[in-house]
Structure 1
């Protein structure tokens, strides 16, 4: 059968693949809770019957606020197959944002994972009159459990009505409204149709060399379109999906599951990289020599044997001694990671690929469902520092000012209740203006060079792309995070956060007192070392882009403290406000 609506994945799966007990799975109370396709369909249908008994109509909005779990997928399918609209919401946002999203979307029912999230939203319920009920995934006396809805559905089964509803749903009907704040803080509801998402996962389905005998681990939030689309792709390909308990348990979960594929973001890869460096710093004697030999070899890795036979011979030797142990720490069978959400440092791609873990970097937006371009295994499919070829079912053009514009079946229907913003984003010819800057490499890969709105002009009238500079400086082992500033100034400056894990091991090796983060960044020896690092990377830039003034901060930026979006991008306006005095002092 053909998949044209998202919920078509379920009958397609049952028809195409051999029965297995782990279509999707999540860990509860120390045990993996596994769902087979028959259970998946049956529970989804009963939830749909429950919705119909409650009076849910096509087009009604239903929200989920929950970390990844099997119920998330089942409720998702139950919503979509009756023509309702799924509004997934991050579990990490503020009460103000919950109030805005639930109210703006006119949500009718809300599903939450447990008590902690209930506490965040119960105060705002009187301000959102459209909400008729709340269901939880844990037993709480005050609110109904998902099982109550399933029981209601069992008592009101009407297969004929459900089948009629499914048949009436068209590929161009809205399936989901995803609220995204970007880096500005303004929440926009992105309307994506069934066809938007289906066309996107079908366009990348040729890439993973995996199928029904393989497993994926999922830890990025399903409420983000990147992980959600990939979860649909995994199910379409028959790959079992295991949901990690949280970011802190992911390596343990991978050792349990032994996955072959997972999606990730550069931030996690950087943390793994840091741990490898810290491990290497602790080794002594022959073990240290072998480790650093393997590490430095990986830093020079080039694709398709371009380094020559002797390099590849050494790589095989180091694979037995070192790289195989790195893979074992990630379950032993991991072969492919898809990285998105932010720019990935080329050193990360080289290191992991050399170690036998292929890293495919991609690029996209919520508004494009999301993938626009992604590296693949074709002849020119991977080039470190690029996001790979544009998908075959999309068109991309580079505007005169360098902005990336895209057209095709995965471009959103528009912003919910905001025709003006929709018209500003999608022009009359159907081109969606991404706001990102880039160019097409000679061999066809797309390279991102910055964000249009983030460009700033110096007092000499020269434009500077801060992201381009930041991406280069993050190649340094010493620098974890930074923001480049300089609007209307004579030169560019930066606030930097050291990689404190690496810095601590560096201080131990050089016998420099570490103390606290605050103490170490005030150390004159450390400041001189950072200046040396800055001088090194400044050589890659013209005079306008060179960082000529800088300061170190003692605390990492995070989603919880407001400096990062849920997808780990810098919230520049917030950082500018928070560190206004420090930025002024740079100039």
Structure 2
């Protein structure tokens, strides 16, 4: 077996090279699985499969089609679509043509989409449907470089009056154009791949900044080739695995998973419809999946709500089982850290066995019954929720990275994972902690810089390659990293005490099964407050049981009953906090935070400044009459 160092150091220049190697090695093995509506139009979707050879046929055709349109190496081709197999094939087509992908979230409005297309200088836009096409058409006057829009949904690829000739075509037409071009120039795609350099631009991903315009992160081919090999080297994923991929591919977390899959050669089942996750899991039966903390929080809250709806006895059993799960996980992880064994005392093991029969087994079945590991990233997972799932036999391996580090810089190692940490650095990545606690990274995954913004690049990237993450963390003696907060999110009270709001927020999420989002505020104030948004299905179920049926969500959260309910959880959290960390006042929001209002990113991270501006009146109200008001 090739050792880790050799595997990484001998990496090819690009994931496009890895793709060609993969197709040659396992042409007939299943690569992708994707849903199509059932023939009857009702009932569950049918799932189709593509082998590596079948995928390659479409990838080469798309690449040759772009070449035929005149796209040159390193020119940008934007992709605005939801997570689907066509996204992956189109992205590989862009890479194999020598061009670079600009990723665009499909939820991005027309104005910001136009900014990204113009700033990146994208020559072609691959758009999912009529809605994405309409954004480009609306702003066409501002996009002189945009020569073509390729629409994935063939029926939506309709030219309109005023469109330049050939400006709109379907993805199927692009692939047919490419197939014709390949007939005349059979080596054109492989020649483009052979000419790729490691330092050549592969991707521009725009960060969804909390203030101002997003910045384009320039990621060369070597970033992805390194990531693919590093993921392979960890041994976390094997060729026989089935991965369920629903994460947005415009986000670096989703995209890095596609690179790792090509290196390892396992199956990916692709469906970005978040509302289909619960339905899909028992069908796909994944052995491995990645998600953001919000998904695990929703599953946990959903299980708790279902138990509560089953009556007092069922809810007590669930609460007992949840406590056993957490204790079991903590004891077994502590034992492994000390002795290398996950053994637990006999009495705890006996309780765990009963709880497994009553609760955990059903939870694992909801995930398809075969889930070996789940990776959580993009934001911090509450340790108490992590311990619950660990004790229930669903092993959540937290990882850490940024768009600027090609997503995966740290991940928890398989059996020896530690809940509450993001694990160890990937092979080839260096880490150090600055004097002020900031995490610095260096290695082949670090970006080239921000597109067209040399001053912004120099602010975070030192000449010797060290990247300033903006996150605060601690390294254990044996190399496990714990993130404590974003450097810019640390708040200092008017009394001079520093508070990591994410830590308090995580503890609240662990005790309150009704919460959707929570934001702790207290910078330059003499006490902490919180803005709390509740999970609508969960609180509406509770409302129905408590005589509040027929009211809207906003009316329910405004009632004294719900305020008293949440107040109980606030008090529970406060019991475990230092005095200056405690939530002294809170307000329940009349709606949840969402992408549409710009309050959360597409990867569901809360944008603190946006939320604080949107609900300034509620914050001011809580501090009215206090000494600093």
* TM-score normalised by the chain length of structure 1: 0.93
Q: Distance in 2 between matches of 1:513 and 1:274?
A: 20
Is 1:408 the counterpart of 2:408? The answer is no
Contact 1:436 1:452 in 2 (8 A): yes
Tell me which residue corresponds to 2:4. none
**What is the CA distance between 1:47 and its match in structure 2?**
1.8
Tell me which residue corresponds to 1:314. 351
**What is the CA distance between 1:391 and its match in structure 2?**
2.1
Q: Distance in 2 between matches of 1:339 and 1:308?
A: 29
Residue in structure 1 matching 2:171, options 124, 143, 146:
146
User: Which structure 2 residues correspond to residues 100-111 of structure 1 after superposition, within 5 A?
Assistant: 100-111=115-126
Tell me which residue corresponds to 1:573. 609
Residue in structure 2 matching 1:83, options 88, 95, 98:
98
Tell me which residue corresponds to 2:487. 452
Is 1:196 the counterpart of 2:223? The answer is yes
**What is the CA distance between 1:447 and its match in structure 2?**
0.9
Task: Mark the CA change 1:469 to 1:314 in structure 2 (over 3 Å): closer, same or farther.
Answer: closer
User: Which structure 2 residues correspond to residues 145-224 of structure 1 after superposition, within 5 A?
Assistant: 145-157=170-182, 158-207=185-234, 209-224=236-251
Contact 2:540 2:553 in 1 (8 A): no
Is 1:489 the counterpart of 2:514? The answer is no
Q: Distance in 1 between matches of 2:464 and 2:11?
A: 30
Contact 1:486 1:493 in 2 (8 A): yes
Give aligned pairs, total. 583
Q: Distance in 1 between matches of 2:237 and 2:408?
A: 19
Moved more, 94-103 or 207-216: 207-216
Task: Mark the CA change 1:426 to 1:245 in structure 2 (over 3 Å): closer, same or farther.
Answer: closer
**What is the CA distance between 1:15 and its match in structure 2?**
3.7
**What is the CA distance between 1:518 and its match in structure 2?**
3.3
Contact 1:17 1:212 in 2 (8 A): no
Task: Mark the CA change 1:391 to 1:210 in structure 2 (over 3 Å): closer, same or farther.
Answer: closer
Once the two structures are superposed, residues 496-535 of structure 1 have per-residue CA deviations (whole angstroms, 9 ceiling, x without a partner) of 12345544555667x4646443344343344344334323
Moved more, 233-242 or 360-369: 233-242
Residue in structure 2 matching 1:328, options 359, 365, 373:
365
Q: Distance in 1 between matches of 2:499 and 2:395?
A: 33
Contact 2:484 2:503 in 1 (8 A): yes
Q: Distance in 1 between matches of 2:503 and 2:64?
A: 51
**What is the CA distance between 1:7 and its match in structure 2?**
1.0
Q: Which runs of 5+ in 1 are unaligned?
A: none
**What is the CA distance between 1:462 and its match in structure 2?**
3.4
Once the two structures are superposed, residues 96-130 of structure 1 have per-residue CA deviations (whole angstroms, 9 ceiling, x without a partner) of 11011000011101111111222233201121000
Q: Distance in 1 between matches of 2:515 and 2:47?
A: 38
Q: Secondary structure at the match of 1:460?
A: coil
Task: Mark the CA change 1:293 to 1:530 in structure 2 (over 3 Å): closer, same or farther.
Answer: closer
Q: Secondary structure at the match of 1:181?
A: coil
User: Which structure 2 residues correspond to residues 373-384 of structure 1 after superposition, within 5 A?
Assistant: 373-377=410-414, 381-384=416-419
Q: Distance in 1 between matches of 2:424 and 2:237?
A: 21
Is 1:424 the counterpart of 2:432? The answer is no
Q: Secondary structure at the match of 1:32?
A: strand
Once the two structures are superposed, residues 260-290 of structure 1 have per-residue CA deviations (whole angstroms, 9 ceiling, x without a partner) of 1111011011111111011111225876665
RMSD, aligned CA: 2.3
Q: Which runs of 5+ in 2 are unaligned?
A: 1-9, 39-45, 160-167, 334-341, 624-629
Tell me which residue corresponds to 1:45. 60
Is 1:518 the counterpart of 2:554? The answer is yes
Q: Distance in 1 between matches of 2:572 and 2:367?
A: 33
Task: Mark the CA change 1:291 to 1:454 in structure 2 (over 3 Å): closer, same or farther.
Answer: closer
**What is the CA distance between 1:574 and its match in structure 2?**
1.4
Q: Distance in 2 between matches of 1:419 and 1:488?
A: 33
Is 1:7 the counterpart of 2:42? The answer is no
Q: Distance in 1 between matches of 2:557 and 2:287?
A: 40
Contact 2:27 2:51 in 1 (8 A): no
Q: Distance in 1 between matches of 2:360 and 2:526?
A: 47
Tell me which residue corresponds to 2:567. 531
Q: Distance in 2 between matches of 1:26 and 1:214?
A: 16
Residue in structure 1 matching 2:33, options 25, 33, 37:
25
Moved more, 8-17 or 564-573: 8-17
Task: Mark the CA change 1:198 to 1:128 in structure 2 (over 3 Å): closer, same or farther.
Answer: same
Is 1:466 the counterpart of 2:501? The answer is yes
Q: Distance in 1 between matches of 2:297 and 2:322?
A: 14
Is 1:266 the counterpart of 2:293? The answer is yes
Contact 2:397 2:419 in 1 (8 A): no
**What is the CA distance between 1:184 and its match in structure 2?**
2.7
Contact 1:278 1:501 in 2 (8 A): no
Q: Distance in 1 between matches of 2:616 and 2:136?
A: 32
Once the two structures are superposed, residues 15-34 of structure 1 have per-residue CA deviations (whole angstroms, 9 ceiling, x without a partner) of 433722x3112212233232
Once the two structures are superposed, residues 525-553 of structure 1 have per-residue CA deviations (whole angstroms, 9 ceiling, x without a partner) of 44344334323322333333222222121
Task: Mark the CA change 1:488 to 1:348 in structure 2 (over 3 Å): closer, same or farther.
Answer: closer
Q: Distance in 2 between matches of 1:251 and 1:301?
A: 27
**What is the CA distance between 1:177 and its match in structure 2?**
0.5
Task: Mark the CA change 1:293 to 1:534 in structure 2 (over 3 Å): closer, same or farther.
Answer: closer
Q: Distance in 2 between matches of 1:245 and 1:402?
A: 37
Residue in structure 2 matching 1:280, options 287, 290, 307:
307
Contact 1:99 1:127 in 2 (8 A): yes
Q: Distance in 1 between matches of 2:316 and 2:120?
A: 58
Tell me which residue corresponds to 1:392. 427
Tell me which residue corresponds to 2:336. none
**What is the CA distance between 1:235 and its match in structure 2?**
2.7
Q: Secondary structure at the match of 1:57?
A: coil
Moved more, 453-462 or 55-64: 453-462
**What is the CA distance between 1:231 and its match in structure 2?**
1.7
**What is the CA distance between 1:392 and its match in structure 2?**
2.9
Once the two structures are superposed, residues 127-159 of structure 1 have per-residue CA deviations (whole angstroms, 9 ceiling, x without a partner) of 100000111111233231111111212222223
Q: Distance in 1 between matches of 2:318 and 2:497?
A: 45
Task: Mark the CA change 1:300 to 1:512 in structure 2 (over 3 Å): closer, same or farther.
Answer: farther
**What is the CA distance between 1:313 and its match in structure 2?**
2.9
Moved more, 387-396 or 305-314: 305-314
**What is the CA distance between 1:359 and its match in structure 2?**
0.7
Once the two structures are superposed, residues 70-110 of structure 1 have per-residue CA deviations (whole angstroms, 9 ceiling, x without a partner) of 22122111211222111111001111110110000111011
Residue in structure 2 matching 1:116, options 103, 128, 131:
131
